């Protein structure tokens, strides 16, 4: 019997690639999206019968997390959650206005950390009842490595990594595994505007000579959620082209 996974932010980019890779590996996939209705519908068409539903929810409001999990569970049991939805806002920590800082801080932390935390908690209540489950968090290289202009984003991803580690220890006895992937530069629509002006600089810091693709991230995610990773938990796999070690 196929297992079922919820992938947040699955209408494009890394989330869509993960959804596609997992479907090809035999998973049933629930697709979450926020505003990109047409792209989400296209992703669902690509998955065909492996898609168990489209679930619209604004995760900039973390109180929506319980409702999203409840909505997904109306279509059947859930075996894994991929917390992929995230936002990146470049910001000068000192020079930005107080109002701009507060808005960015609350939005980034809500989408990148608090919503995944609450989604994980809601899903794990279900996992405990059924006796097993997996959580995969999409973090970032900057969760380990500081980067100018990304202080709040880095803080949100660092928090996500350490949530992964702590829950891996706490929930191991309940047969729940927790993982993260930590991509560096990935060629997706979210970062393309910044990449266009910094491409030579970015590539100079990547020993493998190219940015990651969304499919590179999906391959690591698929491995972690597979039975082959049954003895792994609490790890964050770096996907950064040998650009950073820790």
DSSP state string for 137-155? EE--GGGTS--TT-HHHHH
Alpha-carbon distances of 54 from 7, 9, 39, 57, 85, rounded to whole Å = 10, 11, 11, 10, 15
pLDDT confidence of residue 198 = 85
Whether residue 191 contacts residue 183, with contact meaning beta carbons closer than 8 Å, is answered with no
Quick one: CA torsion of 188, 192, 196, 197, rounded to 10 degrees?
Answer: -130
Question: What are the helix (H) ranges across the chain?
Answer: 13-24, 37-47, 65-73, 98-109, 115-130, 151-171, 192-204, 214-224
Question: Any idea what the CATH number is for the domain that residue 222 is in?
Answer: 3.40.50.720
For residue 189, the model assigns a pLDDT of 75
Per-residue pLDDT of the chain (246 residues; tens, 9 = 90+): 789 999 999 999 999 999 999 999 999 999 999 999 999 999 999 999 999 999 999 999 999 999 999 999 999 999 999 999 999 999 999 999 999 999 999 999 999 999 999 999 999 999 999 999 999 999 999 999 989 999 999 999 999 999 999 999 999 999 999 999 999 999 887 777 777 788 899 999 999 999 999 999 999 999 999 999 999 999 999 999 999 999
pLDDT value for 195:
78
Nearest to 236 by CA among 131, 138, 104, 110: 138
DSSP 8-state assignment for residue 191: T
In a domain, 104, yes or no: yes
Three-state secondary-structure class, residue 31: strand
**Exposed e or buried b per residue across 81-99, where buried means at least 16 C-beta atoms within 10 angstroms of its C-beta:** bbbbbbbbeebeeeeeeee
Residue 210 lies in a domain: yes
For the chain, what is the domain count?
1
Task: Return the pLDDT at 197.
Answer: 80
Assess if residue 245 is contained within a domain: no
Cβ atoms within 10 Å, residue 100: 13
- Report the catalytic residues: 153
Using DSSP's 3-state secondary structure scheme, residue 92 falls into: coil
**Is the residue at 101 inside a domain?**
yes
Spatial separation of the C-alpha atoms in residues 244 and 246, rounded to whole Å: 7
Sequence-ordered list of residues with C-beta below 8 angstroms from that of 2, at least 6 positions apart, any chain: 26, 27, 28
What is the distance between the alpha carbons of residues 85 and 109, in angstroms, rounded to a whole number? 12
Instruction: Give the DSSP letter of residue 185.
Output: S
Residue 101 lies in domain: 4-239
- pLDDT for position 196: 78
Q: Is residue 246 part of a domain?
A: no
């Amino acid at each position: 019997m196929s297992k079922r996974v919820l992938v947040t932010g699955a209408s494009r980019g890394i989330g869509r690639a993960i959804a596609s890779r997992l479907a090809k590996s035999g998973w049933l996939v629930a697709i979450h999206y926020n505003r990109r209705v047409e792209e989400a519908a296209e992703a669902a068409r690509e998955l065909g019968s492996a898609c168990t539903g489209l679930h619209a929810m604004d995760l900039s409001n973390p109180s929506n997390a319980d409702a999203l999990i409840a909505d997904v569970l109306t279509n059947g049991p859930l075996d894994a959650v991929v917390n992929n939805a995230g936002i990146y806002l470049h910001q000068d920590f000192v020079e930005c206005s107080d109002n701009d800082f507060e808005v960015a801080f609350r939005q980034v932390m809500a989408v990148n950390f608090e919503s995944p935390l609450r989604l994980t908690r809601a899903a794990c209540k279900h996992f405990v009842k059924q006796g097993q489950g997996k959580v995969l968090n999409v973090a970032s290289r900057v969760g380990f490595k500081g980067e100018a202009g990304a202080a709040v984003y880095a803080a949100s991803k660092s928090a996500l990594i350490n949530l992964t580690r702590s829950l891996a220890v706490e929930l191991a006895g309940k047969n729940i595994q927790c993982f993260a992937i930590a991509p560096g530069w990935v060629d997706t629509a979210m970062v393309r505007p910044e990449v266009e002006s910094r491409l030579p600089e970015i590539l100079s810091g990547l020993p493998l000579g190219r940015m990651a693709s969304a499919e590179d991230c999906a391959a690591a995610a698929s491995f972690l959620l597979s039975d082959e990773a049954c003895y792994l938990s609490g790890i964050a796999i770096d996907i950064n082209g040998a650009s950073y070690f820790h």
